[in-house]
């Protein structure tokens, strides 16, 4: 008798598995949903519009970094230098504007340029020297961080010394009584745009294909080196956007920021279901991944859980979320 | 004498201490099927990789319709109308069949969606893929939107062959296209090769399968130790003589 | 899993730089003790490492969302945190800076802190007097925190040099001095292993070093191991800042010549009490210097100090 | 004329390349040699027996971690949790001994057990859940770190409260006037033993083969899951040895230690010429890699270079050393 | 009736929605060469993977010399004396030839070096490898200490075949051993198969090459849609009939 019941259970489970498999980002989405429900039950403060907006603000920086990190990981790369690029960029934007009185728009553009150039440097090292991205970015992480400390003189630049455009991402507008920052909106728009590009343009296909099988892509007539270069450069540009969000969020530019953001952004990407082996994944998943971590940290905090156990919970979360995703993917179409 | 569509002269390619090509020549005449045979490691794949722009030879020249060219990437060769099915297939498993067929030459939508937003014409490409697969009549893939990784080895091979046949405008090169295929699938590929030739496109076919080679080839290029040892006519040379030349057991006639 | 002692409805947030440094861990304990006697709840947050400003920003926001009445914070980046503090105050929370001032200090409702500059100054003055008495020429090695020049690091380092009578030039920068008595600077990450490596390297640069400033007592303990390994522990004076129990033990054992003792427990207690009071009647506290005491068993003329017995009674962990 | 000279130059370079290729660890060894020579020229204090012994001591902890990291990377894995395991282990050894008065030897054994169990947990997650090692150890990193903080209460345990055996690794003996710590010797012995095992036992071959091609190894009749488990467990044990060395070095057990040691040990391994893709490399290379970083830090410090630029130098070093190694390997045998 | 050396009954293997084996049987008689033919995706590799312990079938039974066995790992099958050359080769590129031959069954040195220090007998294994390669006479590998990654595809194939031939004590299974090989190399492998059979070991050979199959096989197992469709005698059935059965164009006789 038991076997029969087990059999039926298994087939139900299998059916759920199949259902979830149909849509790639549904695994992370389920995890997000479940955690939201659980935390809403634990604390009545959790599911208020204000708190939701807060979580969006809190994940804005890591979420933006995760967008850049996602396209790098899609090409079977990894970017340990993303946090360092972001901080360097934020310092350059803010310091140049504060010291030379450069207006906001050119300062922003300068920052975008710096981010892109840093990314391009990573890309050049990956494509020209043919080094594994892990090693390249482990190296440039140190280089960019040192440049940041050197250029900033380790001094924080205050928001009050900057043109207001640099702080725009931290400004809020009110929707139905809830304040939302432009930085959060920028993240959502960025994710949508990147998802569109990845899905609907030739470049997007080439990114997936390059990550899937580099040599096959090259033989198929894709300029893989150019694709990789453009991916790292775009990622650098996205990190510069993250820098802008960061400045808005803390209303200043701090050379101390972002030191753990590389692992945090990778965490968001892998929880979001993108494969570290390249070629499989989606940028929407990474946003969801960042939200999951944000929901956990915020929800545990509201529930009064000590930060120690929050750390542990994030560790367990990574393993559980990725295992679940793996399990869902195991079904062949 | 007719100008060869594709010609190679004195190609040399070294990998470290290994010399894969030691001054190899090749001539492909208009409308013919040229088979390339040779032992493992004779340099067949290296030769066609050079012709396909996948590797840059250390020495030697390549001519297309009599004019010298230099291919530094597979794209250059493709632009010259040369399509290749590589021994390692070169398909992208996570993409679907239509995406693989159009990989590197995607079509964009008409209007601003295409020109400004650079949107792909997915629907159009799927339909075109469907048409190509049907026209080639090699198999029954139900859905061009299926990911290549869900296909069997034989079906993948068919996708790669279909791509080359569909887009080749001057030369189609196939490196052991039937090696992993079953009897029926091999048959289909051979028919496809004949069909491509009948459309007027010359084909270079690399194969270890002598019956296949002798069935379809117009001329047979015998590669040995990185060089062209001989070119023979399958109608005047026996299979065992060809093999003997290939393995060095016999000197080529003339 | 409640991060604080259970208590009444009043929630007090404590945001520290890290939760690894014993200094902040003790602060947390102090806050929780005070909370249980005052009948309030403390919830604590920390950055992942020194300088982790974002985690502190998140923490402040979460505390606002949790309906906390007040926040006690040791800022990781005393400038960059200010806008978030403004937000909290605008939401009606009392914000008290613990241990480290905000920049500007007026950004917080009050500051309960030790003057880190003074802490450095005291050990500098003590060292100066000691070297004058012994008639020795000092050769100084400085073991700082990290390359980032965070404010505590700068204040302690520059305070020490000032106290020792070195022209520090820019008071906000470590390492721009040109005094020939200074052998060099190196960084320790404030832990013993970094302290040891840094000391070893400085000793290689000049084996004649006889005065070592350290950012904190764990770094001092590491530096001592390096000196011991080089057989120089008797000839070199180590000074430090913190006043933790292991550090004061080390003063007693002669490992550390003098240390400036600070009082994290007191800061936290006062902070929790102030927020409790604020929650009751809305009264705001004043800035309080929780004091710094020079602990040494070799008192020097003209520099006020207490002995290690006093230090052990007042040490924090 | 110029072409002829260039030709000859190139062939000379090629010959050097071939020569270097003959022995795998020779690339890193050359980098080490060159940096030693350069720093010896920069400072006469550098090449003294005392300073050399010092560098050995300074790299002892990271070098020991790198031994464990090497075998993990040889199986195409990566271990981000190594530093966390080491610290947790050191705290357990020291705290149990200090609080319960457990003698040194059982305390040490307990530590070895804890390290091994942590490694085993990583191995179980990798083999049972079939998760990428990067993700597993990113998760357990947080878990072990939280356990460490919880168990230690963030308090440092002083050496004077511990049995002397735990501090033995920091003890010195004198050879020809130079003091050498037992910890340094332990590292050298460990490297020699691991090199022997990897080269001369069936297990060693299976480690390489598993990293080279997991499925092929399984089909060849290797119990790959068991090999992976044993590798992670052994790595955990090696991290416990590193914990012992750490305690000896700082004469205390500090819960703050080791937070950057995961990337530092990976840096040593990759500079030492082991491939992140598994199957290729040697543990001797990792020791050399650790020494290269140690020599750089020490040499730059002696030369009075600011820490900022030391950071940058390490970044550049990673890229240069690995490129050089790659270049040497390009020659086919 | 003789007891089959190796027998499978009703093997079923599903991958998600795909059913690779739908109740397949197989019988291998002592001392015979049994060829297995079938279309791409007919389940040939899945069948022999189950026999080799590489996959665990969802249903069905396997018998060795008439007694039921259950293989959960390749090691179990190996212990039962079944050696397999997989389609994907299963060699370790970075190890040398001798190491690959002895992979998973390394020999240790004599004395304490072996028992306590667990040292490998490298020299002994190299010599033995040399002897095996020579005895099989399939090729001229100069140095068994050479890394497999430096070998050509044909040479790698030879290493895999040599391993199975050298260690198989009850059954040798080969999944498309000649697919990537040149004419001469294929010949050598076929000779090797005959030689193994002559030593008394039965062989299962999977191949798409009908001339090869008809040349060496004693019986031909025709796999179709995950099932055994027929077993035919190559001496009484023509090549084209076998192919017709395989593709479903004809019903098997009887
Ligand atoms: N990328 C490479 N690196 C090093 N050596 C190579 C490379 N590609 C080919 N070779 C070597 O060059 C020689 C010729 O190889 P090639 O692949 O051209 O032979 P082939 O005739 O196609 O053989 P097969 O019939 O086995 O496909 C071989 O010795 C091979 O090992
Ligand atoms: N690991 C796997 N995961 C999913 N499907 C698989 C797997 N292995 C085999 N299959 C599927 O099972 C079916 C039978 O495959 P199998 O490899 O046994 O065929 P085959 O007869 O060996 O074909 P070929 O002649 O091409 O080697 C195919 O449809 C294949 O796609
Ligand atoms: Mg080839
Ligand atoms: Mg097969």
| N- to C-terminal Cα separation, chain B | 20
CA gap C65, C67 in Å, rounded: 5
CA gap C111, C285 in Å, rounded: 9
Q: Which two tokens stand for residue A248?
A: 């808005």
CA gap D154, A11 in Å, rounded: 49
Band (pLDDT 50/70/90 cuts) for residue B161 is confident
Residue with tokens 């343009």: A201
> Taking phi first (over 0 means left), then psi (-120 to 50 degrees means alpha), and beta for anything else, what does residue B118 get?
left
CA triplet D259, D261, D264: central angle to 5 degrees? Answer: 140
Query: pLDDT tens digits for E152-169?
Result: 777 788 888 888 888 888
Q: Which two tokens stand for residue E161?
A: 């075949």
Q: What is the 3-state secondary structure (H, E, C) of chain E?
A: CCCCCEEEEEEEEEECCEEEEEEEEEEECCCCEEEEECCCCCCHHHHHHHHCCCCCCCEEEEEECCEEECCCCHHHHHHCCEEEECCCCCCCCCCEHHHHHCCCCCCECCCHHHHCCCCECHHHHHHHHHHHHHHHCCCCCCCCCCEHHHCCHHHHHHHHHHHHHHHCCCEEEEECCCCCCCHHHHHHHHHHHHHHHHCCCCEEEECCCHHHHHHHCCEEEEEECCEEEEEECCCCCCHHHHHHHHHCCCCCCC
CA gap D281, D283 in Å, rounded: 7
pLDDT for D44: 84
- The residues on A that touch D, with CB distances below 8 Å, are 80, 125, 129-132, 134-136, 138-143, 145-147, 149-150, 263, 266-267, 270, 276-277, 308-309, 311-312, 314-319, 322-323, 326
Which candidate from D51, D250, D311 shows the least CB-CB separation from C222? D250
Residue with tokens 């995890």: A31
Protein residue whose Cα sits closest to atom 25 of ligand 1: B40
Strands E219-224 vs E227-232: parallel, antiparallel or unpaired = antiparallel
CA gap E112, E119 in Å, rounded: 9
Task: Report whether residue B94 contacts ligand 1, using a CB cutoff of 6 Å.
Answer: no
CA triplet C88, C89, C91: central angle to 5 degrees? Answer: 65
Q: Does B54 touch chain A (CB under 8 A)?
A: yes
Q: Does A129 touch chain E (CB under 8 A)?
A: no
CA A181 to chain centre: 18
pLDDT for D3: 38
Give the closest residue to B80 by CA, choosing from B105, B57, B51.
Answer: B51
Helix runs in D129-201, H state only: 133-152, 164-167, 182-200
Mean pLDDT estimate for chain E: 88
How many residue contacts between B and E have a Cβ separation below 8 Å? 71
For residue C49, pLDDT beyond 80? no
Q: How many helices (H) and strands (E) does chain D have?
A: 14, 4
Which residues, listed in sequence order, are joined to residue C185 by a DSSP beta bridge? C142
Q: Does D333 touch chain B (CB under 8 A)?
A: yes
DSSP letter at D318?
H
For residue D171, pLDDT beyond 80? yes
Lowest mean pLDDT among A90-99, D181-190, E87-96, E199-208: E87-96
CB E208 within 8 A of CB E24: no
Band (pLDDT 50/70/90 cuts) for residue A121 is very high
pLDDT for B192: 86
Please give the average per-residue pLDDT across A234-258, as a whole number. 91
Task: Report whether residue B41 contacts ligand 1, using a CB cutoff of 6 Å.
Answer: yes
> Taking phi first (over 0 means left), then psi (-120 to 50 degrees means alpha), and beta for anything else, what does residue A133 get?
alpha
Please give the average per-residue pLDDT across D203-226, as a whole number. 92
User: Which residue in C has a C-alpha nearest to residue D172's C-alpha?
Assistant: C229
Band (pLDDT 50/70/90 cuts) for residue E7 is very high
Query: pLDDT tens digits for D279-311?
Result: 989 999 999 999 999 999 888 888 878 778 888
Query: pLDDT tens digits for C170-213?
Result: 888 888 888 999 998 888 888 888 888 889 888 888 889 999 99
Looking from the CA of residue B226, the nearest atom of ligand 1 is: 14
Q: What is the ipTM of this complex?
A: 0.86
C-alpha distances (whole Å) from C117 to each of C243, C292, D313 are: 15, 10, 32
Give the closest residue to A320 by CA, choosing from A266, A263, A286, A270.
Answer: A270
CB B42 within 8 A of CB B223: yes
Residue with tokens 């520059």: C158
CA gap A309, B155 in Å, rounded: 52
CA triplet D118, D124, D126: central angle to 5 degrees? Answer: 105
Mean pLDDT estimate for chain D: 89
Sign of CA dihedral D224, D226, D227, D231: positive
Band (pLDDT 50/70/90 cuts) for residue D4 is very low
Q: Which two tokens stand for residue C174?
A: 């470590």
Query: pLDDT tens digits for A130-177?
Result: 999 999 999 999 999 999 989 988 788 888 889 999 999 988 898 887
For residue B110, pLDDT beyond 60? yes
Give the closest residue to E119 by CA, choosing from D194, D199, D189.
Answer: D199
CB B196 within 8 A of CB B203: yes
Q: Which two tokens stand for residue B185?
A: 């699938």
pLDDT for A333: 38
Phi, psi at residue A112, to the nearest 5°?
Answer: -60, -40
* Dist. CA E2 → ligand 3 center (Å): 44
Question: Between C147 and E68, whose confidence is greater?
Answer: E68
For residue C1, pLDDT beyond 60? no
pLDDT for C9: 77
Query: pLDDT tens digits for B6-59?
Result: 999 999 999 877 889 999 999 999 999 999 999 888 899 999 999 999 999 999
CA gap A41, C67 in Å, rounded: 18
How many residue contacts between C and D have a Cβ separation below 8 Å? 100
Please report residues of A whose CB lies closer than 8 A to that of D150: 308
For residue B150, pLDDT beyond 80? no
Residue with tokens 């440092």: D156
Please report residues of B whose CB lies closer than 8 A to that of D330: 16
- The residues on D that touch C, with CB distances below 8 Å, are 45-46, 50-51, 54, 57-58, 61, 149, 153-156, 158, 160, 170, 172, 179, 181, 246, 249-252, 254-260, 297-298, 301-302, 304, 306-308, 311
pLDDT for A20: 59
Q: Which two tokens stand for residue B69?
A: 């060219």
Mean pLDDT estimate for chain C: 88
Strands E33-37 vs E203-206: parallel, antiparallel or unpaired = parallel
CA gap D299, D296 in Å, rounded: 5
Lowest mean pLDDT among B65-74, B194-203, C60-69: C60-69
> Taking phi first (over 0 means left), then psi (-120 to 50 degrees means alpha), and beta for anything else, what does residue D21 get?
alpha
Query: Mutating which of A208, A221, A278, A330 best tests the B interface, going by the most B Cβ atoms within 10 A?
Result: A221
pLDDT for B182: 84
CA gap C58, A250 in Å, rounded: 10
C-alpha distances (whole Å) from B201 to each of B75, B171, B204 are: 19, 6, 10
Please report residues of B whose CB lies closer than 8 A to that of D327: none
Beta carbons of D333 and B15 less than 8 Å apart: no
CA gap D108, D121 in Å, rounded: 20
C-alpha distances (whole Å) from B196 to each of B74, B82, B219 are: 21, 13, 16
Please give the average per-residue pLDDT across D84-92, as a whole number. 96
Question: Is the peptide bond preceding residue B158 cis, with omega within 30 degrees of 0?
Answer: no
pLDDT for C2: 36
Query: pLDDT tens digits for A224-239?
Result: 999 999 999 999 999 9
Question: Between C47 and E85, whose confidence is greater?
Answer: E85
CA gap B218, B202 in Å, rounded: 10
Phi, psi at residue E12, to the nearest 5°?
Answer: -125, 135
* Three-state DSSP state, A165: helix
CB E120 within 8 A of CB E108: yes
pLDDT for B250: 86
CA gap E140, D254 in Å, rounded: 61
pLDDT for D190: 97
Strands C41-46 vs C94-98: parallel, antiparallel or unpaired = unpaired
pLDDT for D18: 60
CA C182 to chain centre: 23
Which residues, listed in sequence order, are joined to residue C42 by a DSSP beta bridge? C12
Q: Which two tokens stand for residue E20?
A: 């690779």
For residue E120, pLDDT beyond 90? no
Q: Which two tokens stand for residue E248?
A: 């479903």
Q: The pTM is what?
A: 0.88
CB C302 within 8 A of CB C229: no
Beta carbons of D135 and A318 less than 8 Å apart: yes
């Amino acid at each position: 008798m038991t076997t029969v019941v087990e059999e039926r259970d298994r087939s139900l489970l299998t059916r759920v598995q199949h259902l979830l498999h149909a849509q790639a980002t549904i695994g992370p989405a389920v995890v997000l949903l479940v955690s939201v429900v659980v935390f809403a039950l634990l604390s009545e403060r959790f599911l208020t519009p204000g708190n939701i907006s807060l979580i969006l603000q809190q994940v804005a920086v890591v979420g933006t970094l995760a967008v850049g990190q996602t396209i790098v990981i899609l090409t079977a790369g990894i970017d340990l230098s993303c946090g360092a690029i972001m901080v360097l960029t934020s310092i350059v934007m803010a310091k140049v504007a504060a010291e030379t009185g450069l207006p906001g728009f050119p300062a922003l553009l300068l920052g975008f340029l710096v981010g892109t150039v840093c990314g391009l440097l990573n890309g050049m090292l990956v494509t020209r020297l043919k080094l594994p991205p892990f090693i390249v970015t482990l190296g440039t992480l140190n280089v960019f961080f040192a440049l940041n400390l050197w250029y900033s003189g380790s001094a924080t630049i205050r928001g009050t010394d900057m043109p207001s455009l640099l702080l725009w991402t931290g400004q809020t507008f009110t929707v139905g009584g809830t304040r939302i920052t432009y930085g959060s909106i920028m993240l959502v728009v960025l994710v949508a745009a990147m998802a569109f590009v990845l899905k609907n343009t030739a470049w997007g296909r080439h990114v997936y294909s390059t990550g899937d099988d580099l040599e096959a892509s090259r033989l198929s007539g894709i300029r893989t080196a150019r694709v990789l270069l453009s991916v790292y450069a775009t990622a650098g540009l996205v990190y510069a956007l993250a820098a802008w969000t960061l400045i808005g969020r803390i209303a200043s530019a701090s050379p101390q920021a972002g030191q753990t953001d590389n692992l945090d952004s990778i965490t968001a990407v892998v929880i979001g279901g993108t494969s570290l082996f390249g070629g499989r994944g989606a940028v929407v998943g990474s946003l969801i991944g960042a939200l999951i971590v944000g929901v956990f940290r915020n929800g545990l905090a509201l529930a009064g859980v000590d930060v120690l156990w929050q750390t542990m919970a994030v560790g367990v979360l990574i393993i559980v979320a990725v295992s679940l995703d793996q399990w869902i993917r195991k079904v062949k179409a | 004498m007719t100008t060869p569509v594709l010609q190679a002269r004195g190609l040399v390619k070294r990998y470290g201490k290994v010399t894969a090509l030691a001054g190899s020549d090749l001539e492909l005449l208009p409308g013919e099927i040229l088979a390339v045979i040779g032992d493992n490691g004779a340099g067949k794949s290296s030769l066609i990789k050079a012709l396909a722009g996948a590797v840059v030879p250390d020495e030697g020249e390549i001519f297309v319709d009599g004019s010298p060219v230099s291919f530094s990437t597979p794209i250059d060769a493709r632009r010259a109308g040369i399509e290749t099915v590589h021994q390692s297939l070169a398909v992208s498993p996570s993409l679907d069949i239509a995406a693989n067929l159009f990989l590197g030459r995607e079509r964009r939508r008409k209007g601003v969606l295409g020109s400004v937003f650079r949107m792909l014409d997915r629907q159009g490409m799927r339909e075109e893929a469907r048409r190509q697969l049907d026209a080639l009549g090699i198999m029954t893939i139900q859905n061009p939107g299926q990911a290549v990784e869900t296909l069997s080895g034989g079906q993948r091979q068919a996708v790669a062959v279909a791509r080359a046949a569909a887009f080749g405008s001057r030369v189609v090169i196939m490196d052991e296209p039937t090696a992993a295929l079953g009897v029926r699938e091999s048959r289909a590929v051979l028919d496809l090769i004949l069909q491509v030739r009948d459309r007027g496109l010359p084909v270079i076919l690399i194969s270890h399968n002598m019956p296949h080679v002798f069935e379809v080839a117009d001329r047979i290029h015998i590669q040995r130790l990185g060089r062209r040892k001989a070119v023979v006519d399958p109608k005047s040379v026996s299979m065992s003589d060809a093999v003997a030349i290939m393995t060095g057991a016999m000197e080529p006639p003339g | 899993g409640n991060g604080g002692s259970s208590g009444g409805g009043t929630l007090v947030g404590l945001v520290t730089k890290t939760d690894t440094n014993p200094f902040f861990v003790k602060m947390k304990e102090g806050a929780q003790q005070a909370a249980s006697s005052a009948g309030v709840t403390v919830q604590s947050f920390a950055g992942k490492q020194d300088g982790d400003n974002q985690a502190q920003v998140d923490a402040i926001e979460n505390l606002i969302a949790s309906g906390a009445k007040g926040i006690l914070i040791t800022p990781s980046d005393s400038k960059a945190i200010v806008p978030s503090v403004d937000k909290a105050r605008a939401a009606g929370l009392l914000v008290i800076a613990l241990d480290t001032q905000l920049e500007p200090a007026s950004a917080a409702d009050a500051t309960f802190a030790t003057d880190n500059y003074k802490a450095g100054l005291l050990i500098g003055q003590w060292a100066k007097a000691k070297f004058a008495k012994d008639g020795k020429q000092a050769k100084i090695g400085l073991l700082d925190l990290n390359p980032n020049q965070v404010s505590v690091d700068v204040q302690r380092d520059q305070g020490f040099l000032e106290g020792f009578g070195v022209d520090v030039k820019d008071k906000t920068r470590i390492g721009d001095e040109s005094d020939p008595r200074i052998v060099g600077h190196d960084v320790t990450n404030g832990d013993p292993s970094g302290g040891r490596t840094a000391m070893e390297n400085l000793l290689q640069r000049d084996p004649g070093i006889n005065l070592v400033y350290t950012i904190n007592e764990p770094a001092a303990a590491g530096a001592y191991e390096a000196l011991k390994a080089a057989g120089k522990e008797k000839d070199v004076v180590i000074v430090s800042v913190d006043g933790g129990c292991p550090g004061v033990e080390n003063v007693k054992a002669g490992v550390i010549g003098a240390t400036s003792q600070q009082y994290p427990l007191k800061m936290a207690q006062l902070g929790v009490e102030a927020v409790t009071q604020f929650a009751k009647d809305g009264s705001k506290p004043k800035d309080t210097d929780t004091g710094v005491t020079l602990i040494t068993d070799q008192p020097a003329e003209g520099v006020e100090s207490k002995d290690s017995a006093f230090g052990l009674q007042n040490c924090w962990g």
